[in-house]
Amino acid sequence: MASSYPHLPGQSAAQAALAGLGLPMVYLVDDEEVVRDALAWLLRSRRLLSEGFGSAEAFEARVLADAQAHRGAATPAATGPAGDWPRSPSCLLLDVRMPGMSGPELFERLAARGLLQRLPVIFLTGHGDVPTAVAAVKRGAFDFVEKPFSDNALVDRIEQALAQSAQALMAQRAVVQIRAALADLTEREREVMRLVMDGLPNKLIADELDISVRTVEVHRSRVFDKMGVKSAVELVNRMNEHPGQLDEVLARPSASGRPTGAA
């Protein structure tokens, strides 16, 4: 198994490590052991880690087990959410035809869990299964590759899929961080933040909230600090990257224990 960090297009190993995304992983689901072994060898030769599964059922069990272990709670339904799994850039090479659950059936179950951005799926298909694979791509699969495949072309697509997964994981992490920052705001800080984002100067915010300008300045400074920004423009831009997050958090109790606007 490779010990050095695999390359992601447009991202150095150091950048990925600093982002805390972990080592990329390629999951192989094919009922033919010879195919899994050949793919694993190819990926090792390109410094990519992989893990093989002989059936769709075995891979799905792994997904649920990993998600449950991370959350510390059982997943109630087979098509329930998979939490934040996977937690490192990943992609899935999936055979179309297998005994038991087919590749397209597994794909639909992964799609129902909202995993397709974090776990891009590349179908491995024979000539007769191309229409099935094309239909899956239209429903959100990353791509399909016909057997026998070109090693270089397949690895190129795998690296592109891993890059997409990394971007999805970073976006998910950013949402978690901004939700935590918003939840940490007090009721008054949320009120001040909304008015700052509306473009009001400190004097008008003070009049609106019936507080002193100095108090507005203090709350404004705390808002900027908690949100990790240095200006009102930067604050607006950051919130525009995550539409709806402020409204969602405002519906929950603030750090003071009351929703914004509560008496």
Q: What is the pLDDT of residues 82-127, one digit of tens each?
A: 567 898 999 999 999 999 999 999 999 999 999 999 999 999 987 7
Tell me which of 134, 152, 176 is where a domain ends: 176
How much is the pLDDT for 176?
84
- Single residue among 147, 176, 205 that ends a domain in this structure: 176
Alpha carbon distance 44, 111 (integer Å)? 28
Looking at residue 3, its pLDDT comes to 35
Amino acid at 10: G
pLDDT digits (tens, 9 = 90+) for 193-246: 999 999 999 999 999 999 999 999 999 999 999 999 999 999 999 888 877 666
Residue 137 and residue 236 in one domain: no
> In this structure, is the dihedral angle defined by the CA atoms of residues 144, 155, 33 and 93, taken in order, positive or negative?
negative
Question: Would the pLDDT of 255 be above 60?
Answer: no
Q: Is 193 helix (H, G, I), strand (E, B) or coil?
A: helix
pLDDT of amino acid 59? 96
Residues 118 and 212 in one domain: no
Query: Residue 249's pLDDT band (boundaries 50, 70, 90)?
Result: low
pLDDT classification of 153: cutoffs 50, 70, 90: very high
Q: Across the beta sheet with 49-53, what order do the strands follow?
A: 49-53, 25-29, 90-95, 121-125, 143-146
| Residue 36: inside a domain | yes
pLDDT at 253: 54
Q: Please say whether the beta carbons of 43 and 26 come within 8 A.
A: yes
> Does position 131 have pLDDT exceeding 70, yes or no?
yes
- Determine the pLDDT at residue 18: 40
Cα(23)–Cα(108) distance, integer angstroms: 26
* Residue where one domain finishes, among candidates 176, 193, 223: 176
CA distances from 150 to 3, 98, 124 (A): 25, 22, 12
Asked if the structure places residue 11 within a domain, the reply is no
Full residue range of the structural domain in which residue 170 is found: 22-176
- Between 157 and 17, the more confident residue is 157
* pLDDT for position 4: 36
Q: What is the pLDDT at residue 14?
A: 41
Please write the tens of the pLDDT for every residue from 163-207.
Answer: 999 999 988 888 888 888 888 999 999 999 999 999 999 999 999
Q: What is the mean pLDDT of the chain?
A: 82
Q: Both 39 and 138 in a single domain?
A: yes
Q: Is the pLDDT of residue 19 over 70?
A: no
Residue 14 lies in a domain: no
72 pLDDT more than 70 = no
Higher-confidence position of 71 and 5: 71
pTM: predicted TM-score of the whole model, two decimal places: 0.71
